[in-house]
Structure 1
Amino acid sequence: MLTLDDFTPVTLEDRAFFLDLYARYPQQHSDMSFVTMMCWNHYAHYAYARVGDGVVIMSVIEGEKTFRGPIGPRDPAALEEVLDLAVREGCAAPYYVFDEETLDWVKALYPGLAFRSDRDFADYVYLASDLDDLPGKKYLTIRGHLNRFRRSCEPVVEEMHAEDLAEVREFLKKWCAWRHCDESPVLAEEKEAVLYAMDHFSDLGLSGLMIRVNGAIAAISVYDDLNPDTALIHFEKGLPDCEGVYKAVNQEAARLLAPDRTYINRESDVGVPGLREAKLRYHPHHMAEVYVAEKTDLEKRHQGRGEI
């Protein structure tokens, strides 16, 4: 029987293990990214356990446990163990699914099990070529803002390297002072996440770019690959000195990524209205959905059918 004692905290030393796992079972949502788990580990306290030939991931946020998996071969017995554990130890909504294929598999095994879609945490996935080229009338306004930005601010774009990280940290301190990070619980957690990414930039296999205005860093983008077709933007920050800098860093990242990736995942809007409006303005190709099962539904999952 799977228990909490079977779980081991996710650490940086587990990177090779997760890279191998995800190479065999590619992921679609940013929440499943190893970089995401490491950068937000201080907040979500990720741990993993092996069940059969698969892997189960648990997160603990403010004492509430949630589970996802098993990641690996389709194993009904392993899934049953995960769902049993979610019922015993999880919060009110303890089981998450982050891709349509897994959702279809779980529903085929448990036809009566209800899932709800969590729109606030669905990732926005764009065609990389769209974010690079900004084609057609639907991007006309954005192209106009970019043209004004480039005329007025004369930006210089550089790829981010290890020798730049100390300067990037100073930029992030300025960004946090502007956004009053320490006065906002959400931004305070994000500050810790992005500084962790800078402290472990090479160890995490991250890449990034910087936009300079008058020699100083005005914006950054930090990213890696979520799967062979999709780049994942983990952090994107800009200072308010030059209007349009966020649009510029968005396009410049796409310009670097588009030759080798079909899609760019720009994560969710976490239910923030202004952020949702901004992300929709770039016309996502599709959403990487999140599906959640409530504990009360998990407890009733065998009603009306035999045991697997």
Structure 2
Amino acid sequence: MIQLSDITIDNKELFDKYFSMKQYEISDFTFTNLFMWRNSYNIKYAIINDFLCIFAQYKNNNPFTLMPVGTGDITPVIEELITYFDSQGNKLIIKSLTNDMISEIESRLPGKFIFKPERSLYDYVYLSEDLIYLEGKKFHAKRNHINKFLSTYDYTYHPLTAELVDECIAAEEEWCQKRNCDESEGLEQEKAAIIDALNHFERLKFKGGIIKVNNKVVAFTFGEQFAKDMAVIHVEKADPDIQGSYAMINQKFCEKEWSNVKYINREEDMGIEGLRKAKLSYRPVRMIEKSIAVLKE
């Protein structure tokens, strides 16, 4: 029987070892994401035949796994997952599958699963130079936002350090007050996840940036490099009352931290209309399609 284990900060080295074997370009396969959302999504893990298997369940929805990560034949691993899920009264569901993952599963277990695209989980990928330089007509509105910010505020940009964590947490709490997070379970979970990640900043080893106006944090962000030529931005928050602050923190963070990589992954939109509009407005060069696999009857 598979024994599931809770994710703790001490697991980072283990997870990073497995993720380095494949270097998938989707945001799901970063330890930071799994750690900060482990409570909201009841994320656990097991090692099966030297494959890292990640299990999750959001509220009372059906439990699922991500693609097992490892090298060698994945067939016995998936077969063991099928048996385990069946013993729990569930059909095996595998989420966040890229097209390459689907091809691997189909080659090993042909006709065993039904695959369905999940548009709300597609990752948005951008050229770092687009986000840094914002050149051309397509970024005219973004440049206007930044110019408005620059003409209105005296600001300073700082790399995130341990000494600045408490100020970022205060900025997140103020953002939540303005957005009435206490009325939204999703925003409350996001707040908890962000604070958890910030409190473990040094051990998670991600990079971050902040913008201060009048010596107060009005925007912060953090992310990490997780593939050969790609960084991922996990979180970006800015004071909604400071016009242009979102555009400014995005541009500055990419300029200061990610000019050395070609691509920046800004994760999914979760089907939220406003978030989808905002992410499309930065003109992604491609979307990483993700699908769900459901075991056939």
TM-score by length of 2: 0.93
SS of 2:268 mapped into structure 1? coil
Cα separation, partners in 2 of 1:29 and 1:262, compared to 1, 3 Å: same
- Report matched runs for 1:156-195 at 5 Å: 156-195=156-195
Runs of 4+, deviation exceeding 4 Å: 90-93
Cα separation, partners in 2 of 1:65 and 1:163, compared to 1, 3 Å: same
- Alignment coverage as a number of residue pairs: 294
User: Which amino acid counterpart does residue 282 of structure 2 have in structure 1?
Assistant: Y
Per-residue CA deviation, residues 228-254 of structure 1 (Å, 9 max, x unaligned), is 322111111111232111011111111
Cα separation, partners in 2 of 1:197 and 1:138, compared to 1, 3 Å: same
Per-residue CA deviation, residues 24-51 of structure 1 (Å, 9 max, x unaligned), is 2212222221101111111112111122
Gap regions ≥5 residues in structure 2:
none
Gap regions ≥5 residues in structure 1:
301-308
Equivalent position of 2:67 in the other structure = 69
2:32 paired with 1:13? no
**CA contact 2:19–2:29 (8 Å) conserved in 1:** no
User: Which amino acid counterpart does residue 282 of structure 1 have in structure 2?
Assistant: Y
2:14 paired with 1:30? no
SS of 1:37 mapped into structure 2? helix
- Report matched runs for 1:123-272 at 5 Å: 123-272=123-272
The worse-fitting range, judged by mean Cα deviation, of 223-232 and 35-44 is: 223-232
User: Which amino acid counterpart does residue 104 of structure 2 have in structure 1?
Assistant: W
- Percent identity over the alignment is 30
Equivalent position of 2:108 in the other structure = 109
User: Which amino acid counterpart does residue 179 of structure 2 have in structure 1?
Assistant: R
Cα separation, partners in 2 of 1:90 and 1:120, compared to 1, 3 Å: farther
The worse-fitting range, judged by mean Cα deviation, of 97-106 and 179-188 is: 97-106
Cα separation, partners in 2 of 1:246 and 1:56, compared to 1, 3 Å: same
Per-residue CA deviation, residues 124-178 of structure 1 (Å, 9 max, x unaligned), is 1111111111121111121122111111113211111111112222212211111
Per-residue CA deviation, residues 240-289 of structure 1 (Å, 9 max, x unaligned), is 23211101111111112332211111111111111111100111121222
**Whole-Å Cα distance in 2 between the matches of residues 178 and 292 of structure 1?**
35
2:37 paired with 1:40? yes
**CA contact 1:93–1:292 (8 Å) conserved in 2:** no
User: Which amino acid counterpart does residue 131 of structure 1 have in structure 2?
Assistant: L
Deviation at 1:80?
2.2
User: Which amino acid counterpart does residue 101 of structure 1 have in structure 2?
Assistant: D
The worse-fitting range, judged by mean Cα deviation, of 76-85 and 185-194 is: 76-85
**Whole-Å Cα distance in 1 between the matches of residues 84 and 205 of structure 2?**
33
The worse-fitting range, judged by mean Cα deviation, of 159-168 and 285-294 is: 285-294
**CA contact 1:124–1:268 (8 Å) conserved in 2:** yes
TM-score by length of 1: 0.90
Equivalent position of 2:279 in the other structure = 279
**CA contact 1:70–1:82 (8 Å) conserved in 2:** no
